[in-house]
A and B are shown apart, each in its own frame.
Chain A
Amino acid sequence: MDHGFNENFGLSKLAASHARDIHAMCTDVAAIIFPKALNPPTDAIISKVSTKLIQLVSDLEKKLIPNAHSRMSITWEILASSGFLREPDLIDFTLARVAEDRLESCLEFPIATFATKLLDNSESHIADSAQTLLAAESLHRFGSGNSFLGLPPELLHKLCWRVVAALEIVNGGRNPEIIASTKFLISQYSEADRALDAARKIVHFTRGVELEEFLHPEVAGLRLHVAALSAHLELDYDHVLHLLNAQSSAPYALMLAACAVDKDHAIRNMLLFSGNRTSAHDFGIFEASYAEVTRESALEEISYWASERSQYLASGKTI
């Protein structure tokens, strides 16, 4: 009969872990009562982020473990308790994907029709990237088991080896087959195959910021629109997604002002993504102030956002 007692998990260890839990409890309660965000996450967002994280880990496990049968992740608990899954860069990536889903749902034609046109472009880099974009969008939207393909290389590398480490703990030893399949997965990965990198490449090769279409998300599609803003404002792609998805459309308005977008165009874009989330009161402020914002002052303000973000994300870097 197992009474939960063995050499490795005695009363002392049990008592110590529960004693330490008091501090963790305090931190968790404080975070719930006194959230730092102006617009704290809703239960829906928390649920979506959790689901995407579980999916990531689970998809990766299936790729790394030969002949995997389990539908459930076997490393989730270890990774979660180790603290890795709460690192800023991974949460930021996952939240950006949640934002991407919501923003895409605002578009009537989420698949970029403009990208389809670019397939016939005489410049091979543009045509190839348009194809990659369409392929990656399809994988993202319709594919299953490939959620990790959207990860940036640094994060995929980190997640892969941590999953491997967790598997070694679960299995009680190293499995050369898992190591080999991890190395194979990493060697086969190409950053250029990600949708957002393909979009960014198209923007680069088409001198994107000069193309009027990119500033119309309903024409260019979400990814090309975000990539163009990202290139023009020197913000990273996921940062732009977060800003577009913010509860207030003011950050988006400032980004559009920095791109010298006229007011009517700006308000159409804002309505597209924020719809009923913006009050008449806020629109009044936009209406009164937008014309006063100079391109230079908007760019300068936005440059501060970029530096704040890099400082925040640096706290999650281990490579």
Chain B
Amino acid sequence: MSGPNLTQPISGEIDNDGKLLRADEAFLRLNQRAGGVEGGAIAVPAIAKLAKLSLNLQMKLSRAVRVADNEDHLELWIEVHPTLQFAKVSILSWRALPVLNKRNLILTSMPDSIENQMVFDRHGRLISAKGIAAHGLVPSDFGKNGVEVLTNIFENGVPLANLISALSTGVSIKTMQIKRQSDGRAFDVSGDIIDDERQAVFGFRLRFDPLYEKPLSIVEANYGDVAGNLFGKNLAPVLRQPLGRIIANAETIGGELQGPIRENYALYARDIANAARHLSALVDDLGDLEAVERIDFQTARDTIELGDVARRVAGLLALKAADHRIKINTPADDTNVVAIAEFRRTLQIMLNLVNNAIRYSSDGTAITIETETADKYAIVTVSDQGKGIFGADREKVFQKFERLGRSGDGGSGLGLYISRRLACAMGGDLFVTDSEGGGAKFVLRLPNS
């Protein structure tokens, strides 16, 4: 229903006790649909509230109010003029609002805290998939019979039969192991019914917990999980808060927002802001470091196109590069170098490489990002026209906190270390070689199947 802008307002009068004293016919119909009776109290809560407020304040009000019954959700534009005895309410227009399907909303969002899951409606159709449970699904799978979808994804056997039976009969199942056909990956899977606050069944949910696999995990080393998520989850937020405050206040002083100050003081303030920004970036890096050093750290297996990632990175860092008159050359739009790796982590590595290239290149030079496929790997390279990295330093740069003697440039010495570990965790590698132009060339290799 699309409501009209009324040529003549629909009006009514409501007294201090909320009684509808007089009303146009359309107003009366609206009131009756809300359960009101002629000569009785106004039954539309939003209008009653507005009229009461106007009478209490003795002020003219003009607002959009929303009313709903089983059939329609409407937004009315209402003006209220108070007198001492009653409020004159005029409805100037109404328009129908799209009704959200709350049932679907609950089904798709209720299990939000669960990372890897599939959700089916009460008819057993797939309506949502998250995390690694979404891997390999195509748009046409959604809305399809769940039994068919599960059969296409998982290996035949007793676990699949049990899973299908549970989904079909709507009975919860305890954890069992199942393997995916496409990559042989194993999961612990459990299923339960989703119901609403009225205990009505909405659907069925399957939770997937990936089992630890050697090829996707990072090298097992002396990195224990003694501190758990001490830094990333506990300390990092605590540190970000005061750092944010330092940056904001230093910028306030440096920007001379409260009036002019001595020039060197303004410069000191900008130094403080830059130093705090550096610390803030270090906090981010340490959070990432803690994550990648966990034994159970794993990455998702998305199908990504490296040229696309390169162009996004160039877009994100375009302003920074322009500040230094550096040109970023990216692969052509029609490239198709596909890798199987986590999109976000690949983006993080690429951002780090291009950021470094901008930081250590001379103004007015160029950075080139190229992609290619070689055997089982998809390769992306970042070449700059800087001083390059020589001999033994080429391994040293990937060590933790290694800065090759540099300081004061905003780096933490962790970016390349984290990037290489991320690349390894995705089944690839990251190394540096010479660029043809004389600078450094970082090579990121990722599996393509």
- Do A and B interact with each other, yes or no? yes
- Residues of chain A touching chain B, judged by Cβ–Cβ distance below 8 Å, are 35, 38-40, 42-44, 47, 123, 125, 153-154, 156-157, 183, 186-187, 189-192, 197, 200-201, 204-205, 207, 231, 234, 247, 279-281, 283-285, 287-289, 294, 296-297, 299-300, 319
Which B residues are in CB contact (< 8 Å) with A207?
2, 95
Closest to B77 in A: A204
Q: Which of A39, A43, A197, A279 contacts B252 (CB 8 A)?
A: A43
Given contacts A35-B241, A319-B57, contact A297 B64 (CB under 8 A): no
Minimum CB–CB distance from B98 to chain A (whole Å) comes to 9
A205 to B104, CA, bound (A): 30
When the two chains form their complex, are residues A280 and B108 in contact, meaning their CB atoms are under 8 A apart? no
Report A-chain residues with C-beta under 8 Å of the C-beta of B53: 153-154, 319
Tell whether B100 is near chain A: CB-to-CB under 8 Å.
yes
Closest to B316 in A: A283
Q: Give Cα distance in the complex from A266 to B52, angstroms.
A: 41
Contact residue among A42, A153, A187, A284 (Cβ-Cβ distance under 8 Å from B351): A284
CB contact list, B285-312 vs A, under 8 A: 312
Complex Cα distance, B373 from A18, in Å, reads 77
Can you offer 29 A-B residue contacts whose CB atoms are under 8 A?
Answer: A35-B241, A38-B237, A39-B244, A125-B77, A125-B93, A153-B57, A153-B59, A156-B59, A157-B57, A189-B60, A191-B59, A192-B62, A200-B64, A205-B5, A205-B77, A205-B93, A279-B281, A280-B351, A283-B316, A284-B347, A284-B351, A287-B316, A287-B347, A289-B344, A297-B108, A299-B105, A319-B53, A319-B56, A319-B57
* Residues of B contacting A287 in the complex (Cβ-Cβ under 8 angstroms): 312, 316, 347
CB-defined interface of B246-263 with A at 8 Å, one 1/0 digit per residue? 001100100001100000
Find chain A residues with CB under 8 A from B64 CB.
Answer: 200-201, 204, 231
- Closest CB in chain A relative to B356 CB, distance in Å: 12
Asked if residues A189 and B59 are in contact (CB atoms below 8 Å), the reply is yes
A42 touching B245, Cβ below 8 Å: yes
Which one of A35, A190, A205, A283 lies within 8 Å of B62 (CB-CB)?
Answer: A190
A residues less than 8 Å from B245 (CB atoms): 35, 39-40, 42
Give the residues in chain B near A279, CB-CB below 8 Å.
281
> A91–B317 Cα gap in the complex (Å)?
38
The answer to whether the Cβ of B33 comes within 8 Å of any Cβ in the partner chain is no
With A43-B252, A44-B257, A296-B109 known as contacts, the answer to whether A192 contacts B60 (CB < 8 A) is yes
Contact partners of B284 in chain A: CB under 8 A: 281
How many B residues have CB within 8 A of the partner chain? Answer: 47
In the bound complex, CA of A197 to CA of B108 (Å): 35
A34 to B: closest C-beta gap in Å = 10
CB distance from A318 to the nearest CB of B (A): 11
User: With A42-B245, A205-B5, A285-B344 in contact, do A297 and B109 touch (Cβ < 8 Å)?
Assistant: yes
Complex Cα gap A42–B250 (Å):
9
Contact of B61 with A153 in the complex, beta carbons under 8 Å: yes
- Verify A191–B93 contact, CB threshold 8 A: no
Closest 8 CB pairs of A and B: A192-B62, A288-B344, A44-B252, A42-B248, A190-B60, A153-B59, A191-B62, A157-B57
Q: For B93, what are the chain A residues with a Cβ–Cβ distance below 8 Å?
A: 125, 204-205
Q: What's the Cα separation between A35 and B320 when bound, in Å?
A: 33
Q: Which residue of A lies closest to B345 (CB)?
A: A288
Shortest CB-to-CB span from A125 to chain B, Å, is 6
Minimum CB–CB distance from A95 to chain B (whole Å) comes to 15
A47-B258 in contact (CB<8A): yes
Task: Report how far A154 CA is from B59 CA in the complex, Å.
Answer: 9
Contacting B79 at CB < 8 Å: which of A35, A192, A288?
A192
Taking CB atoms, residues of chain B closer than 8 Å to A247 are 244, 248
Please give the distance in Å from B255's CB to the nearest CB on chain A: 8
Q: Are B241 and A281 in contact (CB under 8 A)?
A: no
> Could you tell me if A43 and B60 are in contact, using CB atoms closer than 8 angstroms?
no
Residues of A contacting B79 in the complex (Cβ-Cβ under 8 angstroms): 192
Question: Which chain A residue lies CB-closest to B108?
Answer: A296
Interface string of B86-107 (1 = CB under 8 A from A): 0000001101000010001100
Which of A35, A42, A200, A205 is B249 in contact with, Cβ under 8 Å? A42
Give complex CA distance A285, B348 in Å: 9
Check: B355 CB closer than 8 A to any chain A CB.
yes
How far apart are B173's CB and chain A's nearest CB, in angstroms? Answer: 26
Chain A residues with Cβ below 8 Å from B2 are 207
CB pair A125 B249 closer than 8 Å: no
Q: A154-B53, A192-B62 are in contact. List 7 more A-B contacts (CB 8 A).
A: A44-B257, A186-B59, A281-B281, A281-B284, A284-B344, A285-B344, A296-B105
Distance, CA A207 to CA B62, complexed state (A):
17
Q: Is the CB of B351 within 8 A of A157?
A: no
Contacting A at CB under 8 A, from B64-86, are 64, 66, 75, 77, 79
Contact B105 A300 (CB under 8 A): yes
Query: What are the residues of chain B within 8 A of A125 when measuring CB–CB?
Result: 5, 77, 92-93
Chain B residue nearest to A156 in the complex (CB)? B59
- In the complex, what residues of B have CB within 8 A of residue A288's CB? 343-344, 347
What is the bound-complex CA distance between A316 and B60, given in angstroms? 22
What's the Cα separation between A38 and B112 when bound, in Å?
A: 23
| Set of chain B residues within 8 Å of A283, measured between Cβ atoms | 316
Q: A100–B164 Cα gap in the complex (Å)?
A: 55
Residues of B within 8 A of A234 (CB): 66
